[in-house]
């Protein structure tokens, strides 16, 4: 089951996106609708709201006067927090019931207005943010909802910033154009990413990059992308993981790389990574176990292959190829991954040397497997340089 968190600022048009996803076959859990449900007449939620804010928030028929309540809480931060304490747990519980009842092959889209503000992104396989310019949102709020410009700006200011939403987004869906344009973008997303991702999840299958080694220029968004994956894995594994780190070429600013995010999960004992629940937890979060690839290449000063054991998982997301290397804390492979990253970050000459080698080998290797293997002699050659840097700087991993 693919779980997608959908959000966007007020007036962004995320309801249009949610409606199209529903038409395409997604199960859409709409937090706005649930927010109405949990304060329906006769509900415990409504009773709690009236107890906190008084009967002034009730309409003549006994239902919640949402406009009256909104006027109170948007001008009162403490009141808004109190309202959230009443409604959010009830909304979350109802959403959980709906998701639990969904079939295992469903694509579940959770439409959550405050997804970014509540830092809920790590709980989803993907976060989809509808990105709309503030001026467009103000125009929609004033023309379609009848808000004054001042009120529209105040409501926008009470939510996360555009920068915060973009940092949380695995998928950023622009929506400053027509309804037809955004619906077409949703169709493409459904066809090219959501359906294949869900199929990979159901089948326990990882996504792969190009078979021919393809280097791309440094992407400043790589660390942000990695941070989202790190949080998901850390949430999935809990105390089973000592740490989760971004490693490899995409973790080194300014370095050319294959467009693959490499992550290292540190465990106390490698046997912990073979526990069925460990494997299942990663698979549920979209990182199935990959058979083979159980050892790193030993280095001359640590020649025993048993010292270089690891486990390997890959991302099921066709839009973000990622490799997850599980290594035991203190093992040579664990130390090598961290030291090599930190040395390259600190030593411009080493970065330039590695970039040159990468370009040369990528141009001659027929496959990514050949490319990876052909780098090993260089890794062995420069290892003393990295160790010397570690001693000089007091690097401790």
Tell whether 277 and 164 lie within a shared domain.
no
Residue 235 lies in a domain: yes
Tell whether 230 and 274 lie within a shared domain.
yes
Tell whether 269 and 304 lie within a shared domain.
yes
Tell whether 252 and 345 lie within a shared domain.
yes
Tell whether 256 and 136 lie within a shared domain.
no
Q: Which regions of 136-260 does DSSP assign to beta strands (E)?
A: 171-174, 215-216, 243-247, 257-258
Find all residues with CB under 8 Å of 288, minimum gap 6, and list them.
200, 204, 205, 206, 282, 313, 314, 316
**Cα–Cα nearest to 24, from 46, 7, 2:** 2
Tell whether 248 and 295 lie within a shared domain.
yes
CATH number at residue 361: 3.30.460.10
Q: What percent of the chain has pLDDT over 70?
A: 100
Residue 209 lies in a domain: no
Tell whether 30 and 96 lie within a shared domain.
yes
**Cα–Cα nearest to 134, from 172, 160, 168:** 160
Find all residues with CB under 8 Å of 106, minimum gap 6, and list them.
1, 2, 26, 27
Tell whether 173 and 229 lie within a shared domain.
no
Find all residues with CB under 8 Å of 368, minimum gap 6, and list them.
209, 210, 211, 212, 213, 258
Global pTM exceeds 0.95: no
Residue 208 lies in a domain: no
Q: How far apart are CA 189 and CA 21, in angstroms?
A: 10
Which strand (E) or helix (H) includes residue 29? strand 27-30
Residue 258 lies in a domain: yes
Among the three residues 203, 238, 254, which one is the final residue of a domain in this structure?
A: 203
Tell whether 268 and 320 lie within a shared domain.
yes
Give the total number of structural domains in the chain: 2
CATH number at residue 122: 3.40.50.300
pLDDT on residue 223: 97
Given a cut of 70, the residues of the chain with pLDDT beneath it are none
Residue 210 lies in a domain: no
Tell whether 65 and 194 lie within a shared domain.
yes
Residue 14 lies in a domain: yes
**Contact criterion met (CB below 8 Å) for 284 and 383:** no
Summarize the annotated binding site as residue ranges.
11-16
Summarize the annotated binding site for ATP as residue ranges.
11-16
Tell whether 373 and 331 lie within a shared domain.
yes
Among the three residues 203, 238, 267, which one is the final residue of a domain in this structure?
A: 203
Residue 257 lies in a domain: yes
pLDDT on residue 302: 86
**Cα–Cα nearest to 333, from 265, 236, 237, 243:** 265
User: Which residue range(s) make up the domain with 365?
Assistant: 215-393
Q: Would you tell me how many other CB atoms lie within 10 Å of the CB of residue 268?
A: 14
Mean pLDDT of the chain: 94
Q: How far apart are CA 241 and CA 322, in angstroms?
A: 18
Tell whether 161 and 229 lie within a shared domain.
no
């Amino acid at each position: 089951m693919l779980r997608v968190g959908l959000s966007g600022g007020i007036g962004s048009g995320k309801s249009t996106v949610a409606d199209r996803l529903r038409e395409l076959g997604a199960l859409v859990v709409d937090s706005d609708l649930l927010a109405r449900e949990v304060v329906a007449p006769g509900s415990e939620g409504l009773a709690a709201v009236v107890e906190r804010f008084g009967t002034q928030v009730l309409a003549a028929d006994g239902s919640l006067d949402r406009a009256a309540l909104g006027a109170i809480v948007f001008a009162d931060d403490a009141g808004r927090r109190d309202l959230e304490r009443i409604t959010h747990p009830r909304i979350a519980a109802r959403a959980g019931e709906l998701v639990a009842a969904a079939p295992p092959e469903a694509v579940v889209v959770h439409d959550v207005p405050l997804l970014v503000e509540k830092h809920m992104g790590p709980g989803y396989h993907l976060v989809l943010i509808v990105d709309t310019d503030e001026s467009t949102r103000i125009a929609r709020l004033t023309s379609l909802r009848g808000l004054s410009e001042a009120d529209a700006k105040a409501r926008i200011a009470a939510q996360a910033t555009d920068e915060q939403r973009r940092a949380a987004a695995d998928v950023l869906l622009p929506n400053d154009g027509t309804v037809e344009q955004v619906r077409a973008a949703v169709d493409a997303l459904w066809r090219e990413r959501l359906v294949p991702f869900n199929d990979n999840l159901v089948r326990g299958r990882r996504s792969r990059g190009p078979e021919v080694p393809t280097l791309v220029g440094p992407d400043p968004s790589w660390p942000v992308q990695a941070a989202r994956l790190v949080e998901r894995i850390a949430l999935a594994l809990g105390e089973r993981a000592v740490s989760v780190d971004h490693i490899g070429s995409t973790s080194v600013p300014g370095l050319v790389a294959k467009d693959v995010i490499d992550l290292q999960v540190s465990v106390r004992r490698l046997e912990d990574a073979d526990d069925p629940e460990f494997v299942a937890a990663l698979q549920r979060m979209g990182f199935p176990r990959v058979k083979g690839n159980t050892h790193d290449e030993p280095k001359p000063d640590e020649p025993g292959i048993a010292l270089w054991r690891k486990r390997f998982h890959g991302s099921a997301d066709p839009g973000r190829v990622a490799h997850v290397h599980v290594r035991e804390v203190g093992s040579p492979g664990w130390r090598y991954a961290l030291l090599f990253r930190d040395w390259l970050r600190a030593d411009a000459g080493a970065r330039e040397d590695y970039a040159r080698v990468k370009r040369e080998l990528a141009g001659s290797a027929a496959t990514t497997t050949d490319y990876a293997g052909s780098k090993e002699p260089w890794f062995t050659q420069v290892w003393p340089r990295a160790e010397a840097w570690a001693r000089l700087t007091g690097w401790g991993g």
